[in-house]
Amino acid sequence: MSLEEQDKILDLRFKILELKKQKNAVIFAHYYTRPEIQDIADFIGDSLALAQQATRVQADILVMCGVHFMGETMKILCPDKKVLIPDMNAGCSLADSCRAEDLAAFKAQHPDHMVVSYVNTSADVKALTDVVVTSSNAKKIVDQLPKDAKIIFGPDYNLGSYINSVTGRDMLLWNGACHVHSRFSLEALLQLKKENPGVEVLAHPECKAPILAHSDVIGSTKALLEHTIQSSAKRFIIATESGILHEMQKACPDKEFIPVPPEVTEGIGCSCNECEYMRMNTLEKVYACLRDEQPEIKVKKETAEKAVSSIQRMLQMS
């Protein structure tokens, strides 16, 4: 990085910290955001930790550096606070794979089923949901549901199959996927394992079943991070979005993290394991959104009123 770029970052950091104080704002960042965003955040976490933390802070403004559904979850839980997101276009391919009208039609075909939705969904989908889960608590929550409950699980097919396998349930699965996690290359993983014998493989449950079958630890971003801190191992192969490597490397400077590359499909997206939506959060945009107090996340009152119970049920059952 050139001196000029370093100066620019320092200047932006200073301005952001000033505005944060002036406006009584708190900055949240998901582990998949750029390193410089994680470094200015008051709280870094996975989607469950960020939602939980949002309900605990005393602030007028919450800035959610992540993706749109995370901002919506915060707004639903904290309706009296102003929730800002640095870029309104920071969406999520997984959330987009389940439209509320399609879920409503599917529910109508299965009226005896309850709906368990992954947090990576729009507020409208959460409003049609009985209980929300994240990758941190999905097993724990599904385990608490009545044994004879018929369940629709969406939108992540890979997470749903994994939860079916560890809970012995037979949930009806929505066929959605995250474009980052579903593209990790099995061939590359097997090659990395061959080149690094005995090295543990850590994977997010949004990865496809063959990747999970070759992994030693499966968990949310936070669970994977905690494992790298607690483990006595010095090297790990990581199958999740590469943003988490920043926090892993910070927490364990003496350990080595080897990211699994994605399959390279001609004409489809990039050939890296980064979520382009998460990368839309930049220091410039954080500064501008604090200065202008926009873009602001708004959720229709009636949607929020319906969605809040499914999120609160999750928080109680976590």
What the block records as the tokens of 210 is 């063959």
Binding segment for ligand SF4 (CB under 6 A), chosen from 48-56, 172-180, 193-201, 298-306, is: 172-180
The reply on whether position 314 binds ligand SF4 by CB under 6 A is no
Phi and psi at residue 184, to the nearest 5°: -65, 140
Residue 124 interface partner, choices ligand 13P, ligand SF4, none, CB cut-off 5-8 Å depending on type? none
Phi and psi at residue 93, to the nearest 5°: -60, -30
The reply on whether position 238 binds ligand 13P by CB under 6 A is no
The reply on whether position 85 binds ligand SF4 by CB under 6 A is no
Residue 81 interface partner, choices ligand 13P, ligand SF4, none, CB cut-off 5-8 Å depending on type? none
For residue 70, the minimal CB distance to ligand SF4 (Å) is 8
CB 82 within 8 A of CB 45: no
Q: State which of positions 231-250 bind ligand SF4 (CB under 6 A).
A: 241
Amino acid occupying residue 211? I
Amino acid occupying residue 137? N
Amino acid occupying residue 122? S
The reply on whether position 206 binds ligand 13P by CB under 6 A is yes
Residue 299 interface partner, choices ligand SF4, ligand 13P, none, CB cut-off 5-8 Å depending on type? none
Measured from the Cβ of residue 4, the count of other Cβ atoms closer than 10 Å reads: 7
How many helices (DSSP H) and strands (DSSP E) are in the chain?
Answer: 15, 12
Residue 121's Cβ-count burial label (10 Å; 0-12, 13-18, 19+) is buried
The reply on whether position 129 binds ligand SF4 by CB under 6 A is no
What the block records as the tokens of 179 is 């474009």
Task: Please name which of 35, 87, 44 lies closest in space to residue 288, comparing C-alpha atoms.
Answer: 87
94, 116, 125, 248: residue in contact with ligand SF4 (rule CB under 6 A): 94
First-to-final CA distance of the chain: 42
50, 64, 67, 131: residue in contact with ligand SF4 (rule CB under 6 A): 67
> Toward ligand SF4, which CB reaches closer, 12 or 245?
245
278, 283, 299, 314: residue in contact with ligand SF4 (rule CB under 6 A): 278
Phi and psi at residue 115, to the nearest 5°: -115, 125
Residue 220 interface partner, choices ligand 13P, ligand SF4, none, CB cut-off 5-8 Å depending on type? ligand 13P
The reply on whether position 135 binds ligand 13P by CB under 6 A is yes
Residue 83 interface partner, choices ligand 13P, ligand SF4, none, CB cut-off 5-8 Å depending on type? none
Q: Using alpha carbons only, give the angle 56, 61, 66 rounded to the nearest 5 degrees.
A: 80
Residue 93 interface partner, choices ligand SF4, ligand 13P, none, CB cut-off 5-8 Å depending on type? ligand SF4
The reply on whether position 25 binds ligand SF4 by CB under 6 A is no
127, 260, 275, 286: residue in contact with ligand SF4 (rule CB under 6 A): 275
For residue 264, the minimal CB distance to ligand SF4 (Å) is 18
The sign of the CA dihedral 267, 268, 270, 271 is negative
Q: How far lies 118's CA from each of 86, 97, 105, in Å?
A: 23, 12, 18
Residue 224's Cβ-count burial label (10 Å; 0-12, 13-18, 19+) is buried
221, 228, 303, 310: residue in contact with ligand 13P (rule CB under 6 A): 221
The footprint of ligand 13P (CB under 6 A) covers 46-47, 120, 134-135, 178, 181, 206, 220-221
The footprint of ligand SF4 (CB under 6 A) covers 32, 67, 92-94, 120, 178-181, 241, 275, 277-278
